[in-house]
């Protein structure tokens, strides 16, 4: 089989669905990439690194068929395209129709992602005619237009998100909103406050809110800042703080930090990271805030100082711990 007939990645993970933990299949399809990437892209997104401009309809259909054969029977399928499933330049409508029909016939709940500009009454109507058991994820990232414009370069506004969200609410389609924690140019404390406010705003329209702490991806502005010692991914203490504080009004809140515990992902000192990551996983699967445990660790004091002092330091505090770890490796 040719390389472009394989998805970028396939795996299974656990998902909380209707109060039960079930197996979910995850497929990342190789497409021509996100339309917004081709006009600049978001500051933290490196997902189009592997996107092939030449991916054609047949390839997407073959990739999907290969993926469902590999995954086998699951009640829930998450289909990622690194862009927008509803963008017909990225996923031609006949390929999208094939996928929607397959999931409808096999009774699988289908999650896919889209930027809000592709969630239009006409396109949503076409999709729902083929499959009503869908969930659409939109990366809102921040409910603050200044953060969207100057930190993320998202290319849409909060009002654009709201229009799509309200249309989905009207049509009875479940919305999953992605909320970013710590885009660049925010202090740690500003980032925590922004995520809490965004989760609370997104909860009004969403069935599920997913908190995504920024991780440093290849080829991004965030990576350049990180290499220049001008950016540190969020502390896991910040992730815990956001999850504990945000009021979701009974809506599901989940978090699975990509690269958690590593230098490029949300991390603490290295000693307490894994206990905290396990507690975040347990919370996401149970929605029980008492599971969000945090062991006593010396690094909590450093985090508290960063939360207090970051705003007084030009450009924010740099990652001193990373500097000394790097020094230890080279000497
Ligand atoms: Zn620690």
CA–centroid distance, 274 to ligand 1, in Å, is: 10
| Helices 121-130 + 158-170 axis angle, to 10 | 40
Instruction: Give the distance (Å) from ligand 1 centre to CA of residue 188.
Output: 16
Q: What secondary structure letter does DSSP report for 55?
A: -
Summarised one tens digit per residue, pLDDT across range 233-265 is 999 999 999 999 999 999 999 999 999 999 999
The secondary structure of 232-291 as a DSSP string is: -PPPHHHHHHHHHH---TT-EEEE--TTTTSTTSS--SSSSHHHHHHHHHHHHHH--GGG
Residue range 168-227, pLDDT digits in tens: 999 999 999 999 999 999 999 999 999 999 999 999 999 999 999 999 999 999 999 999
Q: How far is the CA of 141 from the centre of ligand 1 (A)?
A: 27
d(CA 182, CA 211): 11
Distance 179 CA to ligand 1 centre (A): 25
pTM (two decimals): 0.91
Q: Residue 52: which pLDDT band, with cuts at 50, 70 and 90?
A: low
- From the list 35, 34, 31, 11, the residue with the least C-alpha distance to 23 is 11
**Distance in Å, CA 221 to ligand 1 centroid:** 28
Reference 115, options 138, 141, 89, 143; nearest CA is 138
Ligand 1 center to residue 303 CA distance, Å? 9
What does the radius of gyration of the chain's CA atoms come to, in whole angstroms? 20
Distance 277 CA to ligand 1 centre (A): 12
Residues found in the chain: 331
Q: How confident is the model at residue 331 (pLDDT cuts 50, 70, 90)?
A: very low
Per-residue pLDDT, 53: 60
């Amino acid at each position: 089989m040719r390389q472009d007939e394989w998805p970028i990645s396939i795996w299974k993970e656990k998902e909380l669905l209707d109060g039960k933990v079930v197996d979910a299949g995850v497929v990342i399809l190789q497409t021509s990439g996100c339309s917004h990437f081709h006009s600049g892209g978001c500051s933290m997104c490196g997902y189009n690194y592997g996107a092939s401009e030449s991916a054609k309809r047949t390839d997407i259909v073959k990739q999907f068929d290969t993926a469902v054969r590999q995954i086998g029977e699951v009640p829930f399928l998450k289909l990622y395209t690194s862009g927008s499933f509803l963008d017909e330049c990225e996923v031609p409508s006949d390929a999208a129709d094939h996928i929607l029909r397959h999931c409808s016939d096999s009774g699988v709940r289908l999650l896919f992602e889209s930027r809000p500009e592709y969630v239009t009454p006409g396109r949503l109507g076409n999709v729902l005619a083929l499959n009503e058991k869908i969930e659409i994820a939109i990366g809102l990232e921040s409910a603050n237009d200044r953060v969207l414009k100057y930190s993320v370069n998202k290319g849409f506004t909060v009002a654009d998100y709201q229009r799509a969200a309200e249309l989905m609410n009207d049509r009875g389609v479940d919305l999953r909103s992605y909320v970013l924690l710590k885009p660049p140019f925010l202090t740690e404390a500003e980032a925590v406050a922004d995520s809490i406010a965004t989760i609370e705003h997104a909860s009004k329209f969403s069935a599920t809110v997913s908190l995504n702490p920024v991780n440093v991806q290849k080829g991004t502005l965030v990576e350049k800042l990180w290499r220049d010692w001008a950016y540190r991914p969020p502390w896991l203490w910040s992730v815990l703080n956001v999850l504990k504080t945000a009021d979701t009004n009974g809506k599901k809140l989940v978090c699975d930090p990509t690269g958690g515990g590593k230098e490029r992902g949300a991390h603490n000192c290295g000693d307490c990271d894994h206990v905290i990551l396990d507690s975040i996983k347990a919370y996401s699967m149970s929605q029980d805030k008492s599971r969000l445990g945090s062991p006593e660790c010396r690094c909590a004091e450093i985090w508290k100082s960063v939360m207090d002092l970051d705003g007084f330091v030009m450009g924010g505090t740099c990652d001193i711990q990373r500097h000394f770890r790097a020094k230890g490796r080279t000497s």
